[in-house]
Amino acid sequence: MRPSDSAASLEVGSAQASAAPLKIRQNWAIKFHELDFGPDGMQRIGIGSYGEVFRAKWQGLPVAVKVLISQQLSKDMLDDFYHEVEVMAALRHPNIALWLGACTEPGAFAMVLELYTFSLAHFLHSPDLRSKVTRARVLAIALGVCRGMQYLHTPGAAEPASGQGDKQRASIVHRDLNPNNVLLASDLRPRITDFGLSRLKTGSKLETRDAAGTPQYTAPEVFRGVYTEKADVYSFGVTLWELMTLEKPYSRQGFARVQVVGMCVSEQHFARSHLMPMLPADTPEAVKGAIASCLAQDPLARPSFEDLVATLQMVVAQQKREK
């Protein structure tokens, strides 16, 4: 599939694509022809780190189909795709997007996930939805994101997609946590998605490559090649700031991407944070403290998601009592 030709049909088995399908568990394999894109064909509804997303139906269920932008896969690209399949297949949590299967035929590499209503970014910034964006709802969303991230950062038992039996799932560093990668269904429960840049961490070693996430949400040390779970905490801090202000980071200044990257790399952390929108005066003190600690320049000074879950649970409970 060409990026400029999203609605075109994929040529399954194309000679230009990789020579052989991936070997994944048979019950997770989905044939591309089983996906019903409707009478108008493939209509793109979004784009991820390396794939375009289309609405479809599979066995009568509304689904999102993430198709690789390039179907001419090098070994590295194939490894990245297989990596995301491995990650998604092993995850089961109420705040993680539900992975249903993968299309692995040459020329039609895609992943199939449950379809959700819209992204958190759309929810926060769409004029049509602004009346639904209340303090109670954004705090509940923030708590759900924290719970999902706590799950990702906690090693646990999971069945690998390769079907080699049970093994300990390593903790996962997402590396691109931001409102575009959090999806909401009609119940507004958040589901974290887009694990194309995520990496597994085993012990003290993080398996990673050079690509970083979205600059506005990326921790300064990431641009220097330092990746730990604390980078996700920083990204959450920016996201929580956005949830409180309903403004995108650096949107008022209109900075170009290269300027944002420059600020991210710079040691002038406080100058960078002062360019963010002002927090509303009625922002709970515990939330202000959580944001400040998440955005600490020193990664070791940032809290864990377990700590953040405890803080936000307290805030949400207090808000309910005050109603």
Contact 191, 148 (CB under 8 A): yes
Residues 262, 263, 269, 275, Cα dihedral to 10°: 170
Is 307 assigned a catalytic role?
no
Answer whether 105's CB lies under 8 Å from 24's CB: no
23 is in an annotated binding site: no
| Cα 208 → chain centroid | 16
Dihedral angle sign, alpha carbons of residues 187, 189, 195, 196: positive
Q: What is the distance between the alpha carbons of residues 98 and 91, in angstroms, rounded to a whole number?
A: 8
Give buried/exposed letters for 2-24 (b at 16+ CB in 10 A, else e).
eeeebeeebeeeeeebbeebbeb
State the catalytic residue, choosing from 40, 79, 176, 298: 176
- Residues near 87 by beta carbon (within 8 Å), at least 6 away in sequence: 172, 195, 198, 200
Binding site: which residues?
A: 66
Question: Hey, which residues are catalytic here?
Answer: 176
Binding site for ATP: which residues?
A: 66
